[in-house]
A = this chain, B = another copy of it.
């Protein structure tokens, strides 16, 4: 038995998210079907975590057990030749049998892309949230400063989540604004709750538009009430950028 660790990139626009759910078209299911086609084995892919419908990944990590003695590079080429064009395996490496893509993840880095420009984009519109109007970047940075560290992130947890422990650690963040109007928000955390990045970014934009005062953020977090924070940013702007082990 071998345990292979993979990293993969995907355009989530056409998928119902990562996780297999019956007959729904998901990244996990598509991967498993292609791997089974090539290896003629029943394969169960373990992702580092789920991504929502419409969310993309630049470097998702996963692992799976196989018995076939096929070389990693040969398998990589074979699987990329059968995967649809919106999913690509970037690397395959042999891991120890104990490696588990979800349990062993130390942190994840998400990237959210905003186009802050009067006119909506046409090229690359699948990969960005169009936000017209002036945004106060200093106020948005202040919000991220409040989130840094270990906190209960219930106020940013999507409804319907069954997770009880909502304490997570935001390890780092950055906002990079370009003259083109592109704003890239990067957040690294020990783990993320359901819709957490999208709820944080939705709140950032409401603070940037002065609909919420940045000074209210500590109280919103302490209140642990999702309804007090901003709305959920759309999925297309979100990318799982890296999983750190």
Residues of A whose CB lies within 8 Å of any CB of B are 8-11, 56, 58, 76, 80, 85-90, 119-125, 127, 239
**Residue contact B124 to A88, C-beta cutoff 8 Å:** no
Per DSSP, chain A at the interface is mixed
A121 to B85, CA, bound (A): 8
Total copies of this chain within the assembly: 2
CB proximity of A165 to chain B, nearest CB, Å? 32
Instruction: Specify the chain B residue showing the minimal Cβ separation from A83.
Output: B122
**Residue contact B123 to A11, C-beta cutoff 8 Å:** yes
A99 to B76, CA, bound (A): 55
- Show 9 A/B contacts (Cβ-Cβ < 8 Å), sorted by A: A11-B124, A11-B125, A56-B123, A58-B123, A85-B122, A86-B122, A90-B119, A123-B239, A124-B124
**Residue contact B120 to A88, C-beta cutoff 8 Å:** yes
**Residue contact B122 to A87, C-beta cutoff 8 Å:** yes
A244 to B86, CA, bound (A): 35
Contacting residues, chain B, for A127 (C-beta < 8 A): 123-124
CB proximity of A43 to chain B, nearest CB, Å? 20
**Residue contact A119 to B86, C-beta cutoff 8 Å:** no
12 further A-B pairs in the complex, CB-CB below 8 A; given A76-B119, A88-B120, A123-B239: A8-B122, A9-B121, A9-B122, A9-B123, A10-B122, A56-B123, A58-B123, A80-B119, A80-B120, A85-B122, A88-B119, A123-B127
CB proximity of A88 to chain B, nearest CB, Å? 4
Instruction: Specify the chain B residue showing the minimal Cβ separation from A13.
Output: B123
Contacting residues, chain B, for A125 (C-beta < 8 A): 11, 85-86
